[in-house]
Chains A and B, each alone.
Chain A
Amino acid sequence: MQYRKLTVVTGHYGAGKTNFSVNLALDIAKDGNKCNVIDLDIVNPYFRTADFEKLFNEKGIGIFAPVYANTNLDIPSLNIPLESLLQSGSHIVIDVGGDDEGAKALGRFAPLINSFGDTDILYVINKYRYLTKDAADTAALLREIEESGSVRCTGIVNNSTLGGETDLDDVISSLSFAEEVSRLTGLPIAATCAIDGAMPANAPAPYIVKRYVRNIWEK
């Protein structure tokens, strides 16, 4: 997919922001770009981008996470050098925690993000998440996230997935949902995510992804 220097990934809790962020970072690096990933998730104790440190190291991708991420300490201490990373000229993917609560962590960085020109702020949606099945609820949550994070989103990522069970029909039936959210929010669809083989022919901005976030018994 098309990407800018700075990509901020927001969305409903569990919509698939981390899996999207990991895919995007790997693609940015594959294109020969220097890329840094910032795990800004202060909500989720497990299943987060910091889990992919080894993979990122292999691909030369930098990872910045809350100081105590993936330890036994439940303290969201954010020691993240965003300003110097932005000045370094590298590409940056920021994986934000879910909902308006998670977006709170963005607030501190909002002045930097909002004054940096080459930016996409994406809103990841998933039709199959229980509390955002309804396009109106999904659109309402966007405003709460923007309010909480002091940012304005620029595009929608349709990441409608049921995890490992997702098939072509599931993605097809999510297209009208994404269109409706797009209409209600006035935001363009920046990507439609699906695994290889499940991408509808008429999907807007198709983006084939891999499932990196899995359960240990699926590995």
Chain B
Amino acid sequence: MAEKSLMKGNEALAEAALRAGCKCFFGYPITPQTEIAAYLSKRMPKVGGVFLQAESEVAAINMVYGCAGSGIRCMTSSSSPGISLKSEGISYIAGADLPCVIIDVMRGGPGLGGIQPSQADYYQITKGVGHGDYHIIVLAPSSVQEMADCVTKAFDLADKYRMPAVVLADGLLGQMMEPVAFDDAEIVMSDASNKPWAANGHKNKRQHNIINSLYLQAPELERTVRERYERYKQVEATETQAVADYCEDADIVVVAYGSTARLAKSAVDEARKQGIKAGVFRPVTLYPFPVKELNEAVKSAKKVLTVEMSMGQMIDDVKLAINCSRPVEFFGRTGGVIPAPAEILEKIKEMGGND
């Protein structure tokens, strides 16, 4: 790895996209992710890429739809209300089996909500965002370095499975600064090689490719959806990722993702100092949810605690994953309020962490 730099989370997301060969970025500003667009507006022209500020989020996601259809790596980014606007386009992209990367730096909601960090869009993002039977890959980094790594991974997985991939962050991750390292490889912009399905001009040398999500016959639509779900089975079987800390002997396993996992880790470190057997389980992939890994992590646990910056959304997936084999409790703050490690520790103690 090369020398470390100090970067904002949003900048790291943007730089990592360039380094993954993302040639086109289409966006529309919204706090707390605007640095992604600001950064790419400066960098893209220098590396031969395209930066375009669209007239709206709806326009930006449809530009991604078109660009992805030509086989070029492309990306858009937004924050909660902007992602809602993009939801129709994301459904079309999934329905057309196209790869692309979408960054969501969550802020408080519902409605216009606020500009402070939040994780209240877990349901929205992990359940596909838009209408119809489909999944999108969701990666949830918890450090600036991991934000960069997740962008690379998102592009690779999107191409591999021909489906949209989301890097899900929150305002805290987007705005904070940490050291990050990129490898020294030269930036090479992507093209449509290895994408025989791309609609990028047949030059009378092959049949034309069609990018479409409209099917006139119901059985035909059912067939394409079923084919897609065969791919999802493979995604679920092979692409899960999670990090477990001190779970082997833990009485209480705290489950948290993203920046909340950093807060939970801090609380669990303190709990261990006080002789409480607590552990942290951090899903990195939210879809596919790391079911097998979580079951492994809670083996010795009497109870599970889910901590989120929301009123409790991932907790449903946690309960399903462990088939309610243990009581699952919840602690969260919402509306842009960040849970303090001391509050999480208090909850761990309340759950009998001192027994």
Contact = CB atoms under 8 A, between A and B. Distances in A.
A74 interface: yes
A88 to B, nearest CB: 33
Given A45-B171, A46-B32, A46-B172, A163 B6 contact: yes
B318 interface: no
A143 interface: no
30 contacts: A13-B8, A14-B11, A14-B177, A44-B175, A45-B32, A46-B116, A47-B175, A47-B176, A47-B177, A72-B115, A72-B116, A72-B336, A128-B4, A129-B5, A129-B7, A130-B5, A130-B6, A130-B11, A130-B15, A130-B180, A131-B42, A163-B6, A163-B178, A165-B179, A215-B172, A216-B338, A216-B341, A217-B262, A217-B266, A217-B341
A140 B295 CA distance: 55
The B interface is mostly helix, strand or loop, or mixed, namely mixed
A192 interface: no
Given A14-B8, A46-B171, 6 more contacts: A44-B175, A47-B175, A47-B176, A128-B6, A161-B6, A163-B6
B4 A217 contact: no
Contacts of A126: 6
Contacts, number: 69
B171 A130 contact: no
Interface of A: 13-14, 44-47, 72-74, 126, 128-131, 133, 161-163, 165, 215-217
B141 interface: no
Contact of B4 (A45, A74, A162, A215): A162
A131 B41 CA distance: 13
B175 A72 contact: no
B263 A74 contact: no
Nearest to B4: A162
Given A72-B114, A217-B341, A45 B176 contact: no
A217 B265 contact: yes
Contacts of A217: 262-263, 265-266, 341
A8 B338 CA distance: 32
A74 B5 contact: no
Nearest to B15: A130
Nearest to B262: A217
B201 interface: no
Contact of A133 (B5, B114, B116, B263): B5
B31 interface: yes
B327 interface: no
Interface in B1-45: 4-8, 11, 15, 31-32, 42
Contacts of A131: 42
B89 interface: no
Interface of B: 4-8, 11, 15, 31-32, 42, 108, 113-116, 171-172, 175-180, 262-263, 265-266, 336, 338, 340-341
A162 B6 CA distance: 5
A85 B114 CA distance: 32
A73 B113 CA distance: 10
Contacts of B266: 217
Contacts of B177: 14, 47, 163
A126 B7 CA distance: 11
Nearest to B342: A219
Contacts of A13: 8
A165 B7 CA distance: 13
A14 B340 contact: no
Contacts of B42: 131
Contact of B179 (A73, A74, A162, A216): A162
Contacts of B171: 45-46
5 tightest A-B CB contacts, nearest first: A72-B114, A217-B266, A130-B5, A162-B179, A128-B6
Given A130-B5, A163-B179, A74 B115 contact: yes
Question: Which of B114, B176, B340, B341 gathers most chain A CB within 10 Å?
Answer: B176
Question: Which of B5, B108, B338, B340 gathers most chain A CB within 10 Å?
Answer: B5
A73 B116 CA distance: 10
A72 B15 CA distance: 28
A13 B175 CA distance: 11
Nearest to B176: A215
B262 A129 contact: no
B6 A45 contact: no
Contacts of B4: 128, 162, 165
Question: Which of B7, B32, B177, B266 gathers most chain A CB within 10 Å?
Answer: B177
Given A128-B5, A216-B263, A45 B115 contact: yes
A160 to B, nearest CB: 9
Contacts of A133: 5
B71 to A, nearest CB: 29
A74 B6 contact: no
Contacts of B31: 45, 74
Given A72-B115, A216-B338, A217-B263, A46 B175 contact: yes
B337 to A, nearest CB: 11
A163 B115 CA distance: 24
B166 to A, nearest CB: 22
Nearest to B263: A217
